[in-house]
Amino acid sequence: MKVTIKDIAKATGFSVTQVSRALTGYSDVSPKTRENIIKVAKEMGYQPNYSARSLRRQRTHTIGLVIPSTRLALTDPFFLEFLSGIGYESSKTRYDLLISFSNNKNGQMKILKDLVLSRRVDGIILNRIENEDKRVSFLLEKKYPFVAFGKIESDGDHPYVEIDGFDATYQVTNHLIKKGHKKISFINVPEWQVCAKYRLAGYKKALEDYNIQFDDELVINNEETDSAGYSIVNEILKKNKHVTAFFVNSDVMAIGAVKALNEAKIEIGKEIALAALNDTNITQNMNPPITSLAQPIHLIGEKVTQMLIKILNNKDFKLKQVIIKPKLIIRESTSNMILN
Amino acid sequence: MKVTIKDIAKATGFSVTQVSRALTGYSDVSPKTRENIIKVAKEMGYQPNYSARSLRRQRTHTIGLVIPSTRLALTDPFFLEFLSGIGYESSKTRYDLLISFSNNKNGQMKILKDLVLSRRVDGIILNRIENEDKRVSFLLEKKYPFVAFGKIESDGDHPYVEIDGFDATYQVTNHLIKKGHKKISFINVPEWQVCAKYRLAGYKKALEDYNIQFDDELVINNEETDSAGYSIVNEILKKNKHVTAFFVNSDVMAIGAVKALNEAKIEIGKEIALAALNDTNITQNMNPPITSLAQPIHLIGEKVTQMLIKILNNKDFKLKQVIIKPKLIIRESTSNMILN
DNA sequence: ATTATCATCCAAAACGTTTTGGATAATTAA
DNA sequence: TTAATTATCCAAAACGTTTTGGATGATAAT
């Protein structure tokens, strides 16, 4: 029982053209006609066919997002706040969000290519930017609109929103050092992520500022999962390097770190300090609550979307980069423990 | 630089028809021709235009999901596992997932109507089914394919996957009673949710089986948020009803409950028992770990999607209901505390 | 009274596919 | 040899919009 523009044309006696123009707000339709057409359209429950409109207009009014269908992304509250921000903003302008899940068989690149070449979406949102990210170079080559969450290091002036990774780790490390810590184990995100090197740099700089020797063995890169956090903390403990503080680069990792420390009967906040990065409800609600770095991630999702939509509606939109400074939230896991 | 079927026709010397047929696997194309066309198509990076194909085929190969853009849905790991399951399954058959966010201005019903009437998606997945759910009656009226997560009580034989709410709460209550609890505060989901009454019934039945008087004042319905959990536990504590166990109907609520109990200096697992429902990483990783009800939610997401896709591809698919029994996971928050 | 302007309208083309309904030539059956 | 069958092809219609490029008649300007 789908009702098309033709049905309305027939019902009102006007041409298909006039109906279309009346409904989309052209000026060359008499007020009376427009009123009549709108009334009838409403009565008949007309809604323009999405595919037809997209085909003709050459725009789908949809934003694309490719995410791996592993549990990694979809159980990290950090990512979800981001997604929520995207949703919040896109719903404002009635853009829809198309989520394509990649899997083993169809990797991110394949899905992305399909999305772009089949013109299924008007623009793309990227996250977790890699060094020499292939997705970025593909989109640049195709001149396809996109905005990234994470710094892009390709040549040129591309739009992204970034959290200042150097500043983030500097703040935390600095805080820990001020509490008297010298042996701080730094558990970083995987090296292929662009932000990994900036985060490492911030950590190193803080040590340097206080003349603390950098120890290679205290730094480990791994995926942001709880199991990674668990095994790494165990590994470091086994090395017996007299570490007094752990700084994990994701809240999800903190879950595993806490578990490992609990099992080792090392009391967090008293015998060892623990800081994380992301400040989701994970670190907020742990026992003890864990020092973390607040990032306005919902807002970042909104911002990224807003930028993309602006680009979609205005080819000449001046591409901008946004850099956000995170805010240190000090909690019991580091605040009460003071070394000398 | 988009390449259409016409370009390939020109490049190979065949008609547009033949190119289309060769690419989609019709039998009346000679092997040599097909090979040639496929080769050229690949070389030129051809990908069928999605809108055009959808318009002609009258199917979009996309599944729709409407979620409120409040933080509620998108920070509940339970919902996210569900989403992840949907993604996992849909990616298998290359269906895409369109997420439409509702907001204050455009409510769920408006968004759903738009989605359906504009033929943007082939089918819909519903969750959090309400009593006399308007979405359900709308979809039934429009004869639009859908599958629900949650029991549907309208007349007729509609496809849904349900978790047995009666069994769930019965199991937990039974477990608590066996540990000696008689004053069990039952914090239920909002009444407008279909499952609320079944959950209440399971709780009541367990009490009845042990001849424990049902106390109205110990039962409260509210949203599944941490702040609700927090304020309700406080409220119950204030009533001074000598409650020995709290049973909250969502893991997210447990976050708030734990906070309230911590603040009141009541030790969980020793002075009071706490059980939740959902068994996400929230209850798993709390201190102490919290008894909860495991539900194969990822699998449910897969199942729902699978059912919907079957319906989409076979109008005569026998509609089925799936009912899932949750599994009690006993943890320290209830296991060590035994009353007499 | 004629021309210019304006308001209102519409037929047809276009978007890029898939499908319908044959056409043609080659092969097989009679 | 002729008729029937088969393999391979294609022009044109269709999907439901929006847009192009006027057409028409009424009003205003000259």
Matching residue, tokens 């009141």:
B264
Residue B326, both tokens: 């949750």
Residues of chain A with C-beta less than 8 angstroms from the C-beta of B258: 285, 287
Average pLDDT over residues A51-75: 85
Contact A194, A150 (CB under 8 A): yes
Give the pLDDT of residue B72. 55
Residue A74 confidence (pLDDT) above 80: no
Residue A26 confidence (pLDDT) above 90: no
Task: Give SS3 for A248.
Answer: strand
Average pLDDT over residues A315-328: 86
Which letter does DSSP use for residue B315 in this model? T
Share of chain A above pLDDT 90, in %: 79
Give the pLDDT of residue B281. 81
In angstroms, the CA of A1 and the C1' of D22 are apart by 35
Give the pLDDT of residue B155. 81
| Mean pLDDT score of chain A | 92
In angstroms, the CA of A154 and the C1' of C14 are apart by 38
Q: Is B61 in CB contact (< 8 Å) with chain A?
A: no
pLDDT digits (tens, 9 = 90+) for A157-189: 899 999 999 999 999 999 999 999 999 999 999
pLDDT digits (tens, 9 = 90+) for A94-124: 999 999 888 777 788 999 999 999 999 999 9
Residue A306, both tokens: 């807003």
- For residues B180 and B340, what is the distance between their CA atoms, to the nearest angstrom? 6
Full set of structural domains in chain B with CATH: 5-48 (1.10.260.40), 62-163+298-326 (3.40.50.2300), 165-295+328-335 (3.40.50.2300)
Residues of chain A with C-beta less than 8 angstroms from the C-beta of B106: 91, 94
Residue B116 CA: distances (Å) to CA of A59, A287, B141: 19, 46, 12
Nearest residue to nucleotide D6, by CA–C1' distance, is B28
In angstroms, the CA of A30 and the C1' of D26 are apart by 14
pLDDT confidence tier of residue A73, bands split at 50, 70 and 90: low
Residues in B 131-150 whose C-beta is less than 7 A from nucleic strand D are none
For strand D, the positions having any atom within 7 A of a protein Cβ are: 7-12, 14-22
Q: Which residue in B296, B304, B298, B297 sits closest to B322, CA to CA?
A: B304
Q: Is B87 in CB contact (< 8 Å) with chain A?
A: yes
Q: Do B50 and A62 touch (CB under 8 A)?
A: no
What is the crossing angle of helices B77-92 and B297-313, to 10°? Answer: 40
Q: Is B44 in CB contact (< 8 Å) with chain A?
A: no
Burial degree of A142 (CB within 10 A; 0-12, 13-18, 19+): middle
Give the pLDDT of residue B1. 65
Cβ-Cβ pairs closer than 8 A, A with B, add up to: 156
Nearest residue to nucleotide D7, by CA–C1' distance, is B28
Q: Is A90 in CB contact (< 8 Å) with chain B?
A: yes
Give the pLDDT of residue B70. 66
Give the pLDDT of residue B71. 57
For strand C, the positions having any atom within 7 A of a protein Cβ are: 7-12, 14-22
Give the pLDDT of residue B73. 58
**pLDDT-wise least confident of A27-31, A56-60, A309-313, A322-326:** A27-31
Matching residue, tokens 């015998």:
A271
Average pLDDT over residues A285-297: 91
Contact A160, A323 (CB under 8 A): no
Average pLDDT over residues A186-197: 96
Q: Do B101 and A81 touch (CB under 8 A)?
A: no
Residues of chain A with C-beta less than 8 angstroms from the C-beta of B101: 87-88, 90-91, 97
Please list the ranges in chain B whose pLDDT falls under 50: none
